[in-house]
């Protein structure tokens, strides 16, 4: 995700003065859908079962008209708060931690009635009130979102080249791998994961790796700048395919990356694996929300039907087997065994192995939740620019 964007506080305060924001909200070729189709603004990772949203629509027993969504939180907030998003879309996904608060605060999305989502009873425990991820679905104590994927981002590594299974982010800074390490070109996950490493290893005193002070951001970036100047990093990867190619070509042997990148690189015949780091990881989720416009158009029933699919083992089994994302509901293992025609023995075992490794990553005490709106956004931006220029 490109996080060169405003903090929620800075953004909300500036909305009143953005006279041209409505123009930013226009997407060429998008027009109001006809009939009762749910007009949905979501990325491709929000679907399983087909190249389009047809399988999702069939499971939900509704019609879906989807428009592909970018990964920019600022664009989405502008579009839904001051642009034409309310007219165009009944539902949308977020772009990471904190976006649902900004949308709810501005009444761009509406409170949900979870009693209308039968599969809500199967949601994983981390989302229960008082649990670590409860606030990612709530604003002011009320539910405004339904999760569909999550993960704890870690490190992919070429096991054949290394000959061992790294369990610490520290291996990325080992001189023996100089020039063969890649980091994500995104200050959100990169600075968070490095901050977790520095915090948990006692190298830098950091109070909250997900919401650092300017001095803490400076310390993390100066640490990275020192290694960048030594030539430790081959590159900072941009985009899914770039991340895959670096690992599949064996150009790098260690890369902080999304789990699907590791899965695709492995399919290209390279023994790329995904580790559990003892210091911790950035954890995150993506959610789906009902817009104010969608409620005004009477699209609640269609939205709840889709939300119910997202919390079904049908979706969970397919998103973990196809993309490696964590399912948001209980019962996926039982579902896999009950549907051998859809998942052969090798796939079932692979999915269970992936889920077991995820459980290990989620259990690490040093994990920090994704925050796309840190209080000191300016410090993040300024120091990230210095790192890039170093």
Which helix (H) or strand (E) is 11 found in, with range? helix 8-14
CA distance 120 to 292: 22
| CA–CA distance, 110 with 101 (Å, rounded to integer) | 11
Q: Where are the domains of the chain?
A: 8-144+284-311, 151-281+366-389
Residue 13, SS3 per DSSP: helix
Whole-angstrom CA distances from 377 to 8, 127, 374, 381 are 9, 27, 5, 6
CATH architecture of 8-144+284-311: 3-Layer(aba) Sandwich (3.40)
Same fold yes or no, 8-144+284-311 and 151-281+366-389: yes
Looking at CATH, the fold of the domain delimited by 151-281+366-389 is given as: D-Maltodextrin-Binding Protein; domain 2 (3.40.190)
Give phi and psi for 47, each to the nearest 5.
-130, 155
Residues 256, 166 contacting (CB under 8 angstroms): no
DSSP structure string for 216-262: HHHHHHHHHHHHHHTT-EEEEE-SHHHHHHHHHTTS-SEEEE-HHHH
pTM for the full model?
0.86
* Consecutive H or E run containing 158: strand 146-158
Q: Per residue of the chain (390 residues), what is the pLDDT tens digit?
A: 333 344 444 444 444 443 333 333 333 333 334 458 999 999 999 999 999 999 999 999 999 999 999 767 778 889 999 999 999 999 999 987 788 999 999 999 999 999 999 999 999 999 999 998 999 999 999 999 999 999 999 999 999 999 999 999 999 999 999 999 999 999 999 999 999 999 999 999 999 999 999 999 999 999 999 999 999 999 999 989 999 999 999 999 999 999 999 999 999 999 999 999 999 999 999 999 999 999 999 999 999 999 999 999 999 999 999 999 999 999 999 999 999 999 999 999 999 999 999 999 999 999 999 888 899 999 999 999 999 999
């Amino acid at each position: 995700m490109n996080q060169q964007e405003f903090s929620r506080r800075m953004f909300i305060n500036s909305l009143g003065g953005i006279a041209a924001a409505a123009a930013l909200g226009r997407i060429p070729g998008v027009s109001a859908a006809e009939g009762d189709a749910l007009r949905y603004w979501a990325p491709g990772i929000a679907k399983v079962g087909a190249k389009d949203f047809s399988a999702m629509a069939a499971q939900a027993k509704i019609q879906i008209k989807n428009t592909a969504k970018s990964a920019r939180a600022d664009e989405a907030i502008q579009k839904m708060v001051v642009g034409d998003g309310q007219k165009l879309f009944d539902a949308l996904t977020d772009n990471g931690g904190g976006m649902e608060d900004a949308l709810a605060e501005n009444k761009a999305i509406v409170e949900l009635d979870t009693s209308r989502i039968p599969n809500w009873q199967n949601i994983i425990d981390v989302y229960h009130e008082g649990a670590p991820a409860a606030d990612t679905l709530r604003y002011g104590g009320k539910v405004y979102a339904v999760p569909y994927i999550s993960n704890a981002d870690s490190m992919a590594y070429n096991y054949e080249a290394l000959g061992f299974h790294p369990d610490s982010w520290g291996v990325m800074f080992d001189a023996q791998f100089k020039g063969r390490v890649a980091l994500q070109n995104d200050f959100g996950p990169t600075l968070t994961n490095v901050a977790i490493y520095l915090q948990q290893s006692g190298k830098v005193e950091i109070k909250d790796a997900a919401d650092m002070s300017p001095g803490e951001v400076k310390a993390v970036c100066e640490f990275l700048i020192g290694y960048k100047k030594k030539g430790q990093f081959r590159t900072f990867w941009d985009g899914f395919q770039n991340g895959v190619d670096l690992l599949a070509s064996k150009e790098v042997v260690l890369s902080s990356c999304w789990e699907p990148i590791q899965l695709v690189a492995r399919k290209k015949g390279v023994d790329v694996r995904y580790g559990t780091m003892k210091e911790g990881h950035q954890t995150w989720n993506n959610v789906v929300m009902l817009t104010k416009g969608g409620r005004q158009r009477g699209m609640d029933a269609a939205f709840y039907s889709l939300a119910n699919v997202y919390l079904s083992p049908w979706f969970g089994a397919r998103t973990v087997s196809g993309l490696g994302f964590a399912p948001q509901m209980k019962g996926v293992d039982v579902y896999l065994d009950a549907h051998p025609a859809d998942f052969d023995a090798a796939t079932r075992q692979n999915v269970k192995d992936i889920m077991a490794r995820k459980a290990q990553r989620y259990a690490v005490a040093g994990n920090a939740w994704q925050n796309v709106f840190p209080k000191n956004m300016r410090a993040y931006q300024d120091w990230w620019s210095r790192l890039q220029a170093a």
